[in-house]
Structure 1
Amino acid sequence: MKWNSIVFKLGATIFIILISVLLPLIYTIDRLFYKSYLSEAHYQINQLAAQYSNSLSSREDLDSLQAVANLTKTEICIIDREGKILFTSNDEAFHQDTQIERELVEEAYSKKDTQIEYHNTTNNLNYFVSGKPLYLSNQEDVGLLVFSNAKHIKKSVHDIELLLWVTMIGALCMALGFTYIASKKLASPLLQMEKVTRDVAKGKFYKKVTISSNDEVGSLATAINDLGQELERYRNRQTEFFANISHDLRTPISYIKGYIQVLQDELYKDEKEKDLYLSIILDEANQLNVLITDLFELSKIESGQLDLQLNWINVHELIESCLIKVALKAKEKEILLQKELDTNIPFIFSDGARLEQILMNLLENAIRYNKLNGHIKVKGVVEKKKVHLLIEDTGVGIPEEDLPYIFERFYKVDKSRSNRIGSTGLGLSIVKHLVLLLEGEIKVKSTLHKGTTFYIALPFNIREGIKDKVL
């Protein structure tokens, strides 16, 4: 496993969090238990001392203390005010008639429950001590001391502490295994995404990430799959773009080259045929010029190098001007041009030349793909602080499956027809880019063999929007 891998980092993070929680928790439990156990031990010794002091009433009762001491595993001493040991249950640990420390004397005559630990130098053992004054019938002023070996109590505490720490180590081992499994499971989708994205970068767009959850990781996997599809589509469009542009450039050049060769070799019958060839050369040159112009225009738009000239525009006059310009072409196909504009359409702040380019492109398409004796209607209304323009025709229409792609570069619904009538396949792509650049929207509806309608919505004033876009 690599130290800088996501599995290691994720696992280490989870493990450190677990340790950060478990260690303070175990330590706190250990300290609480230790204090509680010692407090309980002192309490029991104090209780024993209290019971002994209450049950002894004469020196004759002292003989029973030896049996009680053996039964309770404690050591019992009776002392006087000077600290002299008058009675002991264990003469090896506490010698009778010897003096005991002043601290223990005070403990014996104290009426409070205290917690004292005492180290006996005779046998080198530690004891928990509790003392109580005794009131014998002969009114002797004596005190009772009860000693409990701390070794047994601390051994019990140590055993429980050991159990706690062993439990913690076991829990950490289990946590380590859980962490490894969890980190592998959590990191597995990310590692798969890395592999798939590298494959996609190499052009293997068919590679997909398995979506195993509906959370953020699943959403990321979906996004990567969508990205792969978009990249594949972009590559296909790019390939088709170069194929189309090479074809559209090669075709007119081939015509021009061929007919120039014919004219150069004087392979024509008469002047009429010569003029025909010259006319073909001119048409192909014009077609080539349109293609190059459209490519240059589209390149400037997509690279953000297109400068906009913003002015207040009279929409009525602009539409009227466009209809006049296409009137001759419409007349050739006996197409009726109509307009239906609301009188309340205001001046709009936009780029008049680009808006005219949009309308001219749509009107020329409407004429190009219309039927004989058809009609074209331009409508204009105001809704929600926007000017809505509709260009509808009675042309051949667009198949429903082609509608999502008509704004793509070089997309042609009927390639043979488009080539025959001189379409480059770039016009609608330019139209959409220009509409978006003018902060507008464009939509299309079409019914095959019945006609097509383009919807354009433009804001009244795009000064701020255009300013942000240009900057």
Structure 2
Amino acid sequence: MMRWNSIVFKLGLTIFIILVSVLLPLIYAINQLFSGFYLSENHHQVDRLADKYSNILKSTEDLASLTTVANLTETEICIIDQKGKILYSSNKGLFRSGNHVSNKLLQTLNSKQTVQIEYQNPTNNTNYIVSGKPLRLSNKVSGGLLVFSDAEHIKNSVRHMQLLLVVSLVGALFIALGFTYIASKKLASPLLEMEKVTREVAKGKFYNKVDVSSNDEVRSLALAINDLGQELERYRNRQRDFFANISHDLRTPISYIKGYTQVIYDKLYTDEKEKEQYLSIIINEVNQLNVLIDDLFELSKLEGGQLELYLNWINVQELIEGCLNKVRLKAKQKKIQLSIQLKDNIPYIYTDGARLEQLLMNILENAIRYNKLNGHIEIKGWIEKKKVYLSIKDTGVGIAEEDLPYIFERFYKTDKSRSNRLGSTGLGLSIVKHLVLLLEGEIKVKSTLHKGTTFLITLPSKIKGDVQDEKL
């Protein structure tokens, strides 16, 4: 059963009102056009008959023949004098000789103009269409000729035509109702399906899809809903993986810390060297917990817009060399070669040096972590079109093509295994992405599986005059 406040009813009512708004004026215009045309044609026909009768009488002056002519043409003919007295009538029952016609007819004849009016006979209350012509016969009779045509059959014809128009209108309205119902159902069905799927998605059933075959904005909306469902499902899966990883990464160091602390507390070690080894493990696990907590806290501040920038003039070469010095020991352990190539035209960058160093360190540590033995990491820098470009290229394991669009999303991990616990939260590149945007830059990535990855960072290059103008 259709609800009054449903989209189908509202859409159908709108379409029906539009159709009725078009049909009613159209039917009215057709009625006026045909009625006016039919009445006008009958008036002209009576007028032509009056002309013919007048010409015949002027040539023959045979009044007796008028009765025969009147019967053949289904009209009534009267000849009157200048005072309106009836001198001759083809129907003496309706128009008696010696009687006078109305002043309206008489005044029109006295003006010597052709008259064409509607007239109601008081004898039988019948309406007539009247056409009058001035008439003069052998200088004996000077008056006029009146031709009366029964208007009832004309009005009956008009009413018949109007009845047909009304029937047509009713039929058209029923057809419009059927068309409206079908059209509204057809137009509203995709919206109803979207509502159904959206409610299912709200319940967590992200696999439901909207199937729309049209190629318009409705289909675009349906595809957007489908994409939303996919994104929500992907987000839920990533969140599930994230909590599983976080729980693993929290549980593992806590287990180590608890276990080795218990060993030291119970004095189950054999000598001081073994005790120091246990303490070293505890410290390493505490450090790993700090890294994990710091990443989570940093990301929450970035996404909440709570991170403040401290802008200053930064020497790019010194900053990059400082980053390489910090990771050089880790790179040496895997026999990874580090190199830097900076163009001489790179200026000082007016930016937050700490944040720029943080994002570079995240990328470099990832490059070392996922690089091969005897691999290579190369940093290049140049300026082009008032922008500074920094490229970090490694010879690591690479990233699969299907993973590339999602590597900057939080919780996402290309390596699903937990064999490498260090940095396995999937937050590092998400932090990098937010930091680059915070510094008004861009970051792009190209990668080939088993061959390596290249990150390209673009930062705005400002000269000192521009910065001073901004401060002013």
TM-score range, shorter chain: over 0.9
Indicate the SS of the match to 1:224.
helix
Aligned to 1:359: 360
Post-superposition shift, 1:462? 12
- The total of aligned residue pairs comes to 463
Asked if the contact 1:58–1:138 (Cα under 8 Å) also holds between the matched residues in 2, the reply is no
Which residue identity lines up with residue 359 of structure 2 in the other structure?
I
Pick which of 170-179 and 368-377 moved more.
368-377
**Equivalents in 1 of 2:271, 2:381: separation in Å?**
53
1:204 aligns with 2:205: yes
Q: Cα offset for 1:437?
A: 1.9
Q: Distance in 1 between matches of 2:213 and 2:28?
A: 40
Superposed displacement of residue 414, structure 1: 3.7
Residue pair 1:107, 1:132 contacting (<8 A) in 2 also: no
Residue of structure 2 in register with 1:386 after alignment: 387
* Identity between Structure 1 and Structure 2 (%): 73
Are residues 1:338 and 2:370 paired? Answer: no
Q: Distance in 2 between matches of 1:71 and 1:230?
A: 89
Which letter maps to 2:208?
Answer: K
Amino acid at match of 2:390: L
Structure 1 residue 83: deviation in Å?
Answer: 1.1
CA distance in 2, matches of 1:356, 1:49: 110
The aligned residue for residue 45 of structure 2 is 44
Partner SS, residue 390 of structure 2? strand
SS at match of 2:267: coil
Question: 2:423, 2:51 → 1: CA distance?
Answer: 117
Measure, in 2, the Cα distance between the counterparts of 1:425 and 1:142. 114
SS class of match (1:99): coil
Question: Are the counterparts in 2 of residues 110 and 132 from structure 1 also a CA contact under 8 Å?
Answer: no
Cα deviation, residue 60, structure 1 = 6.1
Counterpart Cα distance in 1 of 2:149 and 2:28: 27
Residue matched to 2:260: 259
User: Which residues of structure 1 form unaligned runs of 5+?
Assistant: 464-471
Tell me the equivalent position of 1:468. Answer: none
CA apart distance, 1:369: 2.9
Q: Distance in 2 between matches of 1:24 and 1:404?
A: 59
Residue aligning to 2:456: 455
How far apart, CA to CA, are the structure 1 residues paired with 2:18 and 2:456?
59
Which SS does the other structure have where 1:56 is aligned? helix
Using the TM superposition, give the Cα deviation of residue 218 of structure 1 relative to its aligned residue in structure 2, in angstroms.
0.8
Quick check: 438-447 or 414-423, which moved more?
A: 414-423
- Cα deviation 1:120-173 (Å, max 9, x = unaligned): 111111111111122323532132111111111111111111111211221111
Q: Which residue of 1 aligns with 2:277?
A: 276
* Aligned equivalent of 1:287: 288
- Shift of residue 403, structure 1, vs aligned partner: 3.3
Q: Which residue of 1 aligns with 2:179?
A: 178
CA deviations over 1:9-47 (Å, ceiling 9, x no partner): 111111111111111111122112222211111111111
Task: Say which SS state the counterpart of residue 2 (structure 1) adopts.
Answer: coil
Contact 2:118 2:127 in 1 (8 A): yes
Post-superposition offset of 1:423: 4.2
Larger CA deviation: 425-434 vs 398-407: 398-407
| Aligned residue number for residue 217 of structure 1 | 218
- Report the counterpart of residue 128 of structure 2 in structure 1: 127
Q: Is the 8 A contact 1:108 1:145 kept in 2?
A: no
Say if 1:257 and 1:150 are closer, same or farther in 2 by CA, change over 3 A.
same
CA contact (8 A) 1:341 1:381 kept: yes
Residue 88, structure 1, aligned to residue 73, structure 2: no
Q: What's the TM-score once normalised by structure 2's chain length?
A: 0.93
Q: Kindly indicate whether the alpha-carbon contact (under 8 Å) linking 2:8 and 2:184 is maintained by their aligned counterparts in 1.
A: yes
Asked if 1 retains the 8 angstrom alpha-carbon contact of 2:114 and 2:134, the reply is no
The question of whether the paired residues in 2 share the 8 Å contact of 1:83 and 1:101 is answered with yes
Structure 1 residues 449 and 87 mapped into 2: Cα distance closer, same or farther (>3 Å)? closer
Stretch moving more, 73-82 or 343-352: 343-352
Partner of residue 168, structure 1: 169
SS in 2 for 1:62: coil
The offset of 1:321, in angstroms, is 2.0
- Give the root-mean-square deviation of aligned CA atoms: 2.1
Change (3 A) 1:28 1:290: same
Partner SS state of residue 442, structure 1: strand
Q: Is the 8 A contact 1:439 1:462 kept in 2?
A: no
Amino acid at match of 2:286: A
Structure 2 stretches lacking a partner, 5+ long: 465-472
Q: Is 1:319 matched with 2:341? A: no
Aligned AA for 2:136?
A: Y
Query: Kindly tell me: are residues 408 and 82 of structure 1, through their superposed partners in 2, closer, same or farther at Cα, counting changes over 3 Å?
Result: closer
Q: Deviations over 1:303-322 (max 9, x none)?
A: 22111222232212211222
Deviations 1:75-127 (A, max 9, x none): 11111111111111111211111111122123445553432111211111111
Q: Deviations over 1:150-205 (max 9, x none)?
A: 11111111111111121122111111111111111011111111111011101111
Give, in whole Å, the separation in 1 of the partners of 2:183 and 2:271: 88
User: What is the letter of the counterpart of residue 205 of structure 1?
Assistant: F
Counterpart residue identity of residue 265, structure 1: D
The letter for the 1-side match of 2:121 is N
CA distance in structure 1 between the aligned counterparts of 2:399 and 2:235, rounded to whole angstroms: 23
| Shift in CA distance, 427/177, structure 1 to aligned 2, threshold 3 Å | same
Q: Is the 8 A contact 1:412 1:418 kept in 2?
A: no
SS across alignment from 1:280: helix
Q: Distance in 2 between matches of 1:401 and 1:62?
A: 108
Q: Output the CA distance in 2 between the equivalents of 1:5 and 1:227.
A: 25
Structure 1 pair 128–355 and aligned structure 2 pair: CA distance change class (3 A):
same
Contact 1:348 1:460 in 2 (8 A): yes
Distance 2:17 2:46 in 1: 43
Q: Hey, what's the Cα distance between the residues in 1 that align with 2:50 and 2:139? A: 20
Q: Which deviates more, 109-118 or 312-321?
A: 109-118
Q: TM-score, normalised by structure 1?
A: 0.93
Q: 1:430-450 CA distances to partner (integer Å, 9 max, x unpaired)?
A: 111211222222222333443
Q: What secondary structure sits across from 2:420 in the alignment? A: helix
SS in 2 for 1:419: coil
Partner of 1:144: 145
Partner of 2:104: 103
**In 2: Cα distance, 1:278 partner to 1:384 partner:** 54
Match of 1:32 in 2: 33
- Give 1:19's aligned residue: 20
